[in-house]
Amino acid sequence: MSTPVLILVNKPAVGIDVPVSTQPEFERRDPGEPQLSVLDLGTTRGDGVFETVMVSEGRAPALAAHLDRFRASALLLDLPEPDREVWGRAVEAAIAAAEAEAEVETDTAGLGVLAVKLVLTRGIEGSGRPTGWVLAQLARDFTAVRREGVRVVTLDRGYRHDVGRTSPWLLQGAKTLSYAINTAALREAARRGADEVVFTSSDGFVLEAPTASVLLREGNRFSTPSAEVGILPGTTQRRAFEFLRSRGHDADAVRLRASDLHRADAVWLVSAVRQAVPVTELDGRALEVDHALTTDLNAYLSARQAS
Amino acid sequence: MSTPVLILVNKPAVGIDVPVSTQPEFERRDPGEPQLSVLDLGTTRGDGVFETVMVSEGRAPALAAHLDRFRASALLLDLPEPDREVWGRAVEAAIAAAEAEAEVETDTAGLGVLAVKLVLTRGIEGSGRPTGWVLAQLARDFTAVRREGVRVVTLDRGYRHDVGRTSPWLLQGAKTLSYAINTAALREAARRGADEVVFTSSDGFVLEAPTASVLLREGNRFSTPSAEVGILPGTTQRRAFEFLRSRGHDADAVRLRASDLHRADAVWLVSAVRQAVPVTELDGRALEVDHALTTDLNAYLSARQAS
């Protein structure tokens, strides 16, 4: 598949009917054509939520966890609740269409890894009707970055660790379309000669990367920041913990100070599509990379069975 | 004009050529049709900037100040520099089209106040080409709200007052499309029985409203928070100061503590289209409203001459 598969979701939320009774609950569109209004609040206000799901060999092993988080993000933004059944069917349809295209193009049944994005916006201003779509694209090949790792700088996210509780209007812990700060932080990392960012809270706790969870190893003990510090609960981090525990390691979500990060024996960034990427350098300090463990972890993460 | 006027800007930035040599630098489109790709970073990442310009009797008295701020926001996001001449011409074209439509519809030369929005996004991912458009709409009639005022609650924005200097990747002081927190704060205000929000810094300084500057009066002295606390420099606040000084009042941009706000004799929210709106209640405390001054200030703000 050389072009993405786009599916517009006409019935994206519970209690929302499709605009016309003859319309399907979702339908395929040409992603090369414009599909969105300049009046959509997803664009004019970054007012919407999303998920990116990894599909390997036609299966989305963490789809249920992504749909859970999609719903949680929507509720944090007071958006209508996504219609889980419709989104599940739309994702399946996008995968099937991508597979069909791959077969036509390559004459084989094989298909690379897909990144499938789900987006729900508040819709066109004044319409009261949310906008939803699913976009399936061939994922970039992250094989080299998983082997070679990334250089990371820590950057202050500016918030205390507890703002999710004290100030829910700051939407910490929701995966929103208002991502400009995340991309600005990655540009700042590049200016500092690094590839990636780990955010810290203004009071010194480890948070997350712009699009990944942080995983630490100290000796035989693995940890990740707990979601109570105002970060996204990591769907891939959860599966990484399953793998680590199956190997007999301790793996826990805890409060981590920046000093814990700087003392760690090894650090990974984990996310749905790029999977587990070792950190080779943290704020200028070289870090040890366990290539064997990273390889096994990534094999587990891309396995087709549901977690 | 019952429908908005939309102009797509094909040459939105310096150094960007129009895609095809036969294409104009901007062109009118039907805002009822989809115009944006689901791959545009303005939508998928809230990665873009905007301005909303007030047009009264066919003139945009603060256009130059808005174009200055549009440029400043773009540079804070490392976007290419907006082509000032092109945007100026596109705004003029949008106003002319709106006036022509109004004449056809009403058979009079009169036209209400327009809200003209300028948007520049990082464009379709991987294209290296920003997306730009101008949208001119009839402004809502804010006459009643200017007379009756708004009830305000203060909410913590979560950042220290100095993050603009220490952490520029947080994009404070840029008017970005990542506005989900602003709309979430307004929903929180509604839950608290109020209409509007004034954000404060985590260390207790007065910042701004989600889409307006804050103006205070203590006795004969007027003030607004200085832009160094990581807020947008207010184009309308600046014109309000011109008016106040012409009346012989002191008017200064200073650091204001939340306690200054709570001690103020009068408070206004000022913005381009809604103009100056008196605050009738602040965190539950009733505030005096100077209707005569508010009326005169708003007459000045909607005057057609450039400031």
Domain map of chain B by residue range? Answer: 5-139, 144-301
A50 contacts in chain B (CB < 8 Å): 44
Average pLDDT over residues B214-227: 96
Average pLDDT over residues B111-117: 89
pLDDT digits (tens, 9 = 90+) for B48-90: 999 999 999 899 989 999 999 999 999 999 999 999 999 999 9
d(CA B87, CA B80): 14
Predicted local confidence at residue A206, as pLDDT: 98
Q: What are phi and psi of B37, to 5 degrees?
A: -80, 145
Give the side-chain half-sphere CA count within 13 A for B237. Answer: 24
In chain A, where does DSSP find H-type helix?
41-44, 63-76, 84-106, 143-148, 163-166, 180-191, 235-246, 258-263, 291-301
Q: Is the pLDDT of residue B146 over 80?
A: yes
Average pLDDT over residues A273-288: 97
Confidence of residue B18 (pLDDT cuts 50, 70, 90): confident
Per DSSP, the three-state class of B163 is helix
pLDDT digits (tens, 9 = 90+) for A112-168: 899 999 999 999 999 999 999 999 999 999 999 999 999 999 999 999 999 999 999
Nearest CA in chain B to A119: B44
Predicted local confidence at residue A105, as pLDDT: 65
Predicted local confidence at residue B3, as pLDDT: 86
Confidence of residue B211 (pLDDT cuts 50, 70, 90): very high
Lowest pLDDT segment from A104-108, B106-110, B237-241, B301-305: B106-110
For an interface test with A, which of B155, B181, B196, B197 has the most A Cβ atoms less than 10 Å from its Cβ? B181
pLDDT digits (tens, 9 = 90+) for A220-254: 899 999 999 999 999 999 999 999 999 999 999 99
Predicted local confidence at residue A110, as pLDDT: 54
Predicted local confidence at residue B307, as pLDDT: 45
Task: Please give, rounded to a whole number of angstroms, the shortest distance from the CA of B38 to a CA of chain A.
Answer: 7
Nearest CA in chain A to B181: A170
Q: Residue type for B9, please?
A: V
d(CA A75, CA A67): 12
CATH number of B144-301: 3.40.50.720, 3.90.1150.10, 3.20.10.10, 3.40.50.300? 3.20.10.10
- Beta strands B275-282; A275-282: pairing state: unpaired
**In chain B, what percentage of residues exceed pLDDT 70?**
96
Average pLDDT, chain B: 94
A42 contacts in chain B (CB < 8 Å): 43
d(CA B289, CA B282): 12
Q: Choose among A244, A261, A260: nearest CA to A252.
A: A244
d(CA A286, CA A291): 15
Q: Residue type for A24, please?
A: P
d(CA B41, CA B125): 6
B182 contacts in chain A (CB < 8 Å): 45
CATH number of B5-139: 3.30.470.10, 3.10.150.10, 3.90.550.10, 3.30.460.80? 3.30.470.10
Confidence of residue A304 (pLDDT cuts 50, 70, 90): low
pLDDT digits (tens, 9 = 90+) for B245-263: 999 999 999 999 999 999 9
Per DSSP, the three-state class of A191 is helix
Q: Is the pLDDT of residue A307 over 60?
A: no
**A180/B46 Cβ within 8 A:** yes
d(CA B288, CA B142): 20
CA A100 to chain centre: 25
Confidence of residue A101 (pLDDT cuts 50, 70, 90): confident
Q: Is the pLDDT of residue B306 over 90?
A: no
Per DSSP, the three-state class of A199 is strand
Average pLDDT over residues A197-205: 98
Q: Is the pLDDT of residue B110 over 60?
A: no
**A188/B45 Cβ within 8 A:** no
DSSP annotation string for A57-108: TTB-TTHHHHHHHHHHHHHHTTPPPB-HHHHHHHHHHHHHHHHHHHHHHHSS
Predicted local confidence at residue B111, as pLDDT: 61
Predicted local confidence at residue B1, as pLDDT: 65
d(CA B276, CA B196): 13
